[in-house]
Chain A
Amino acid sequence: MPDKRKENLSKYTVDLNMPGAFEGETVTRRRFMNVSVQAMGGVAAAAFTLPALGFAIGPVFSREPFEWQIIGKPDDFQPLVYSLRVITLVPNVGEAGKSTAYVRARDPAIDTEPEDEYNHIIALTSRCSHLGCPVRWVESASRFLCPCHGGIYDFRGIRVAGPPVRPLNRFYTLIRNGYVYLGPMYSVNTELRRFSNRDPGQPVDGIGQFLYPARFSTSVLPPTGHLPMPPPGIPAG
């Protein structure tokens, strides 16, 4: 009696010499079992790996909200003198979220970059654009000096000497309701053109702006319609 199974061997599996493979089967059942079990294992591993990974790298893609904050009245700031202001970069983390800004009024004789509503008051960060140490204004030298690696900036925050790769970052400022409001930080290139906030150490001149692209997480200019009002007790200027 001829074995029926031997006559109708599948041409896809005949070379494997597998018993029980019929005409029309493109894959042996053993191989199908193997592949499907491995696929299920992969799905199970991905089910906990991918969410955990996304959880860890989520902050890279989430944009932090930023509030305008009051740093004084327009009369507080003179054109040629820097005033120091303590500002809050990140709320609710205490001292670690605080930073300082050097603030002065715009002087058309010095500040040749185009004027708009965001730079009547000029606010420079104290964060060195080399690696982020705090710079300080030294009156006798008329320069910003960085204590870490010797970065030197001039009155407008443009690099004079040392390792920094671009001028000091600046803050958007607004004059509304008789107060000066300070907004998010932005970076500038050597011509003081605005770029989105880059970390220290990342040049934005020439090819630098492409080598160090804008991040997803930097704060955008918040709407100016709902500026926070000053707490009672501070009279408007």
Chain B
Amino acid sequence: MPRLPAPPIPKALQPKPKRPGQNGNGKASPTEVAQEAGISVVDWIDERTSLSGGIRWMLFRKVPRGVNWYYTLGSATMFAFLSQAVTGVFLAMYYRPDATGGAYESMRYIVDDAFLGQFVRGMHKWGASVMVILIFLHMGRVFFFGAYKYPREMTWIIGVVLLILTLAMSFTGYLLPFDDRAYWATIVGVNINGTAPFLGPYLSDFLRAGPEFGATTLSRFYAIHMLLLPGLIIALIGAHLYLVSKLGISAPPWLKPHEEPELDVAEV
């Protein structure tokens, strides 16, 4: 069966050939033993999962000429999300979604008392804004470079859903500090939801878990913010990355197609 040629591995990563005389005494040095152990572990996993092929497929792709720093906005958005995920997990260790005052008290504890609490909370708070800014810049790049066109429409659609989910994260996360701003912003936000005709009143009741801002509204927002939406976002980022990898990235719009030189008739 014909095999596709293996993707080129950069020179620096190619193993150096053994030189004659090296390690001539027949004994392996400690570094060689350690190296061998690492290689055999990786080989053990790779033999059973064939992960290396996928990793090579993902990382050693051909990219068009002329790519520039604007092409890193998608990765930047993803790293902003990863930062949100990590800081969010650790904030959840201290946070209590208790509407009778425990939520505000736990936020006060995180910011004022917990070691590095203000820093981690600040990363999560400002990182949320950074992620929204980056995702809009990324969308603008894709739009103005025409990268959403055939065959990448599906990537665009998934990206739009990711944008909506990110804004839903911002909305649900805004309530969690449970100070006055959070409370009134959520009242206003839920009422904006309610202005959708026919379904709006019921959508508001669903978000609030009742006709008024009640005992379970905060825990409902918390569950949506830290379980439902992150799961959806992780799954869709996976699909987004798969499509980016499968279809390749588009060339910048100012790049002219490479023209094959006309064959000289006399030469043929």
Contact = CB atoms under 8 A, between A and B. Distances in A.
B197 A211 contact: yes
A133 interface: yes
B205 A215 contact: yes
A148 B180 CA distance: 14
Contacts of B200: 199, 202, 212
Interface string A132-149: 111000000000000010
A219 interface: yes
Given A89-B212, A131-B187, A94 B194 contact: no
A101 to B, nearest CB: 14
Contacts of B201: 198-199, 202, 212-215
B245 interface: no
B85 interface: no
B188 A60 contact: no
Interface string A36-57: 0000000000000000000011
A108 interface: no
B146 interface: no
Contact of A94 (B100, B188, B197, B206): B100
Interface in B171-209: 183-184, 187-188, 190-192, 194-195, 197-198, 200-202, 204-206, 208-209
B187 A197 contact: no
A62 B209 CA distance: 10
A95 interface: yes
Interface of B: 99-101, 183-184, 187-188, 190-192, 194-195, 197-198, 200-202, 204-206, 208-216, 218
10 contacts: A59-B210, A59-B216, A90-B213, A93-B214, A131-B188, A202-B200, A213-B201, A217-B210, A218-B211, A219-B211
Given A93-B100, A97-B212, A199-B191, 7 more contacts: A56-B206, A96-B218, A131-B188, A201-B194, A202-B195, A217-B210, A218-B211
